[in-house]
Amino acid sequence: MTLFAAIRRWLDERFDWDDLLAPLRHKTVPTHRLSYWYFLGGITLFLFVIQVLTGILLLLYYRPGANEAFESVQYIMTRVRFGWLIRSIHSWSANLMIFTAFAHMFSVLFLKAYRKPRELTWVSGVLLLFLVMGFGFSGYLLPWNTLAFFATTVGTAITGQVPIVGRPLMIFLRGGPQVTGATLTRFFGFHVAVLPGIATVLILLHLLLVQRPGMSIPPKLEVQWTANPSARREMKFFPNFMLRELMAWYAALGVLGVLAALFPWNLGVKADPFASAPAGIKPEWYFLFMFQTLKLIPSKVWFIDGEVLGVLGFGLVGLLWLLLPFFESDQPAHMKRWITGLAVFALAYVAGMTVYGYLAK
């Protein structure tokens, strides 16, 4: 008997381990020409795990505080053995994770995987997307460099535009009327304690919600497979799909390694609150479509302040986006095409505005 089998037997005798793993053994994944989109959620999860691991390693040396943060990251980049690699992987992985989270959301949207009975899976997923953007926003400030400082100043000022609750919210985020060391300390708290706590709960919920009804099948294929059950193609989740997912994770690890080694994440220049903002300052790419939209809105639309209108507009769109599955029919024949049209428009808008914002001066 091998050691592995002995441990398994030991656990099985005590916890009925085999019974616990039975759902995984019985779980299947539909096989069709669009199956590869199923990998995106797993890759996002893998990148999140990378974030947690590299984040813990960074915590060993990072010191939050206006007088220490930049120097500690500089120390990590120059003195700590493989510190540059850990920090670069953390930064690149964060960006890739947000990208794969967006890609995962749009794939779910186009394949109509959000429809009944998976509405809550969609809701938890969109909340997770908002959360990873929050991770990005809070983590961006932590090296306390010039770009991060002014991006946070602009970002939190936009929050302040929300009527009634905006200013108190801005003060809460900044820890005062201005971005200072107090902002850095609380962003650090959000980034390493509050957001990971919420994210862990939401990820577990999201995974549970994915497991219960099984993998979604595109509506047209579902109709065909219902009419002709013999055409149904499936593979076992474990080990067949898991092996493929594992290969995708390895590929993602390779991409991360290439990015971190060839393009180590820049440290920038230490933030100087008394210096003027660099010309043409822009937020991170995942906020660029919103930033560019706010820039294009006139300062006054009728009697409403343009920026307030923009912020409220994005708030409303975000809420409707969260509730999108509830506007869909559960009958494949009555699928609402406007939702697909909306998805195409949203993708084109986000991509177009991001490119425009990147090119705009």
Binding-site ranges for other proteins (CB under 8 A): 74, 77-78, 84-85, 88, 239-240, 243-244, 246-247, 250-251, 253-254, 257-258, 261-267
Q: Which residue has the tokens 């990378």?
A: 50
Identity of the residue, 31 or 67, whose beta carbon is nearer to other proteins in the bound complex: 31
Taking the least distance from each CB to other proteins, the nearer of 232 and 270 is 270
User: In this structure, are residues 284 and 136 in contact, taking their beta carbons and an 8 Å threshold?
Assistant: yes
Report in angstroms how near the CB of residue 50 gets to other proteins at its nearest. 14
Q: Which of 137, 232, 230 is nearest to 186 (CA)?
A: 137
Of 20 and 251, which CB lies nearer to other proteins in the complex structure?
A: 251
Least CB distance from residue 120 to other proteins, whole Å?
A: 33
Q: What is the closest distance, in whole angstroms, from the C-beta atom of residue 162 to other proteins in the complex?
A: 38
Least separation, in Å, of the C-beta of 98 and other proteins?
21
Tokens coding 356: 């425009």
Q: Is 30 left (phi over 0), alpha (psi -120 to 50) or beta?
A: beta
What Cα–Cα distance (Å) separates residue 278 from each residue in 106, 108, 265, 269, 275?
34, 39, 19, 11, 9
Residue type (1 letter), 197:
G
Cα of 55 vs its chain's centroid, Å: 16
- Least Å from the CB of residue 94 to other proteins: 17
Nearer to other proteins, 80 or 198 (CB): 80
Distance CA(39)–CA(294), nearest Å, equals 34
> Which residue, 61, 133, 70, is CA-closest to 97?
133
Give the residue with the Cβ less far from other proteins, 78 or 200.
78
- Tokens describing residue 136: 């990005």
**In angstroms, what is the minimal distance from the CB of 258 to other proteins?**
7
Residue 92 or 137 with smaller CB distance to other proteins:
92
